[in-house]
Chain A
Amino acid sequence: MYRYLDRSRKKTDHLLRLVLLASLCGIPGAATAQTPGTDQLSGKLVVTGASTLAPLISEISKRFERLYPNVRVDVQTGGSSRGVADARQGLADIGMVSRAMKDEEKDLHAFLVARDGVGIIVHKDNPVQALTDEQVVAIYTGRVTNWKEVGGKNAPITVVNKAEGRSTLEVFLHYFKLKNADVKAQVVIGDNEQGVKTVAGSRYAIGYVSIGTAEYDESQGVPIKLLPTGGVTASTETVRNGTFPISRPLHIVTQTPPAGLTKAFIDYTRSKAVHDIITQQYFVPLVD
């Protein structure tokens, strides 16, 4: 009995190995072949970079793929710096950067896709309605550590800061003219939603996140509250009309001047046809 069983198992083993081998060998080696067709686009694009932009570009590329069935766009998340690095090294055809381009990045070709604001959030039950820029600086540098010093309850402030390297952090530090070494934080977070969840779960926390994210969560009943900055209400509306002071451009970048498929994709991303997707992902489309 076991002899029979054994033989059949060997057979399946053999089969498995064959299938494996076949699947290993049968796959064509080259992954990124760009063939700019004249009438019909085809090929594969690799897009990497900012996690803020990844869901947006991912949705746009899905619609782009429906338009040109022979095209595949792979979107990989990471950070703005990785978008820059990958585009430079040619690991990606297009990089995503969720901040203004730096001087040393002028060698890349950058294309504005949308805008986004960075807003300060506190827990909904926090009686503080507004903070001046000086108060925010005082809180983030640890000179003010209790809410009662800025007109709130008698409770210690939990300062939520972003991790090193995040564009949101750079934008925030730049606006308030701070150095990250001066920030005295109690919590350090990664992505936007983590910031929202941390503040929603801690009655006396203060943090800063992408305004679109915060606005959406607020409307869904998450107990957070956007505070105005410089006297301007924080909303996608004030980001759109340019009055909100802390905003950032969302870019996609390429190493060489875009041509063929890359150009088609970039043009499509900047066209009116995707404005509904941009709004849907809580960013602000470009006004032209």
Chain B
Amino acid sequence: MIKTVSRLQNPREWLAFIFVWGTAGFVTATFCWLLGDILWHGLSHISWTFLTAPPENAGRRGGIGPILVSTALILGVCLAVSLPIGIGTAVLLAEFTSNQNLFGRMTRRSLDVLAGVPSIVFGLFGNVFFCKTLGLGFSILSGGLTLACMVLPILIRSTEEGFRAVPASYRLSAAALGLSHTTTLVHLLLPAAIPGLLVGLVLGVGRAIAETAALIFTSGYVDRMPESLLDSGRALSIHIFDLSMNVSGGDANAYASALVLVVLLLLINGTASWLATYGLHRKIVTV
């Protein structure tokens, strides 16, 4: 990181300084307010039993064990489908297709549209297509596939940005060494584009794990421990929605579930950035 000149010579610099720090402070304060609220109300209900026990009395008592399992399975299906398609498409768009190519342009345009499709519309579509037309019914598979459609554009966009951020000299040197496109891609470009991919992953997982509207019509409402991917399973966010909007006296457990969700996300993000810094970075250095 290059240090810019940090002297605050003129009023404009001062103003910018105050403004930037002010914005950061404001965002942090809002966030702390929100998280503080969740922590304050949720922390006292968290225990090992809460994490493992099944919900009782419509979720007012008991835990969220089966719901955690369902959420993990839905997310797993979503990533297993969206990651290969997402990375593949991003590679194609960034490395193998020129900006003038018709196929590339059509794909990109359709992805731009997909990125904006409201989650509720994904819910309608998932319900009609996966649950009814493909006959998967209300199931973890339907939910995961619907989420995969939803996460794809985010994943592709960020990964593509990651590829575009790789200096052209990498490609030129690889070409000069006579490496094939495939080799260049796997050993040079992919590792270098990892930060972009991770941003996409974090945004995508964030959106998927927090999704309610798309899941309520696809993965369903059943809070039993799922036995296969064709079982209906209630995701954590739907549980929170149901507890806060439909079950009187469910607020305490709604807060606790929200807290669990936030902590889960923190873990995922932490792992992602740890991977970015230590796990995958070393590989480029070796190359």
Residues on A close to B: CB < 8 A?
A: 1-2, 5-6, 16, 20, 23-24, 27, 31, 46, 51, 54-56, 58-59, 62, 65, 72, 74-77, 190-194, 196, 212-213, 216-217, 220, 280-282
Contact = CB atoms under 8 A, between A and B. Distances in A.
12 contacts: A1-B286, A20-B80, A31-B137, A54-B221, A74-B220, A76-B138, A76-B220, A76-B222, A190-B245, A193-B244, A217-B249, A281-B58
Which residue, of A6, A16, A75, A282, has the highest number of chain B Cβ atoms within 10 A?
Answer: A75
B249 A194 contact: no
Contacts of A27: 228-230
Chain B interface size band reads 20 to 34
Nearest to B230: A27
Which residue, of B58, B223, B248, B250, has the highest number of chain A Cβ atoms within 10 A?
Answer: B248
A193 B246 contact: yes
Contacts of B228: 27
Interface of B: 57-59, 80, 137-138, 186-187, 216, 220-224, 228-232, 242, 244-250, 283, 286-287
Contacts of A20: 80
A23 B222 contact: no
Nearest to B250: A193
B138 A74 contact: yes
A212 B58 CA distance: 15
Contacts of A58: 58, 221-223
A75 B246 CA distance: 15
Contacts of A193: 244-248, 250
**Top 7 nearest A-B pairs by Cβ distance?**
A55-B58, A213-B248, A216-B248, A191-B245, A191-B246, A77-B221, A1-B286
Nearest to B246: A191
B248 A75 contact: no
Given A16-B80, A58-B58, A59-B58, A220 B249 contact: yes
Contact of B286 (A2, A192, A194): A2
B221 A2 contact: no
Contacts of A74: 138, 220, 222, 231-232
